[in-house]
Every structure is written in structure tokens, then in C-alpha cells.
Amino acid sequence: MNPLVEHNRIIFDIMAALSLGLSILFMAVTNTEHPPAAGTALGLIIHGFDWNLVLFVLLSALLMSLIRMVLRPRLTNLL
């Protein structure tokens, strides 16, 4: 757990609520709703900030984007 909130549960709860609320607000404003993204923000608070975790999330998003670009001619839009 994050050392800042290790002994104070109310700060942890506020940080978790803010991270989840702000990520949902940002997704709603940009019309890019994706529930697992809100879970990622909450996971960063629960697990504690770690550059390896941030790097993993960014590289995963980049890899999925590259796969989509390569396979785009063969993909079908289901909407």
C-alpha cells in the first residue's frame, strides 16, 4: 500500500474515490467510456503507484493500437 495512506484510511478512501471519479468524468467528457480504464485508475491507488505498472498499461495500449492498425482492413465495425 502507498506509504502516504498506510496509517490513514480516510485519505486512502478519498484518493480512491477521486481517481475513479475523475477517470469516469474524463471518459464521459471525451465520449470514450471504457469501464476497465476506471478499474485501472482504482488499481493504481490500491496497489500503489509503480512505474512498472504504468509502463505495462501504456505498452499494452500501444500494442493493441498497433495490432488494430495492422488488422484494420480485415476488421468489421460492429456498431
pLDDT tens readout for residues 22-53: 888 998 999 888 878 888 888 887 877 788 98
pLDDT tens readout for residues 45-77: 787 778 898 899 899 989 999 999 999 999 888
1: three-class secondary structure by DSSP: coil
CA distance 43 to 37: 10
For the full predicted model, state whether its pTM sits above 0.85. Answer: no
CA distance 1 to 44: 10
Tell the residue number behind the cell numbers 509503480, with chain if given: 50
